[in-house]
Amino acid sequence: MNIQLKGWKIKNMSFKIDDKPSKKRKKKEMFNLSIGHSFPEDNNREFGIGFIVNIKDEDFKIVLEMLFIFQVDQMIDESFKQSDFVKINAPAIAFPYVRSFISNLTLQAGFEPIILPSVNFVKLLGSN
């Protein structure tokens, strides 16, 4: 089965700056990641991987929802829906785009770029 990342888009985004002076605050960052997947009823050759990213920095807060669409050359069946590809490989393919977007967003907004950590999706799946 051939699988291809067809595209991605931002579904929702919030970037809020904390206007309080940061002189006495210590540098702190919080990063949370949620992952989900979807299978459109009207197209059995595509599926989606969604990420919700929450970042709390000393200067701002970001909430970002991104959707990645993958296309396959065969019909998607139940075994594929439960496969490691959907739960591990596809998120691992898409996540570098999330990391790059966050880094560029924070840099272009006038802050030091946030570089999200790498994620071990095999380990993440094992903890669920």
Instruction: Flag residues of the chain having pLDDT under 70.
Output: 21-28, 127-128
pLDDT at residue 22 in the model: 57
In this prediction the pTM is 0.87
The region, left, alpha or beta by phi > 0 then psi within -120 to 50, assigned to residue 110 is: left
pLDDT at residue 27 in the model: 59
What's the CA gap between 20 and 24, in Å, rounded? 10
**Number of helices and strands (H, E) in the chain?**
4, 4
DSSP code of 83?
S
Domains belonging to the chain, first-starting first, are: 3-126 (3.10.420.10)
77 pairs with which residues across the strands?
none
Q: Which residue has the tokens 């700056």?
A: 17
pLDDT at residue 58 in the model: 87
pLDDT at residue 89 in the model: 93
The pLDDT tens digits of the residues spanning 73-83 come to 999 999 999 99
Length of the chain, in residues = 128
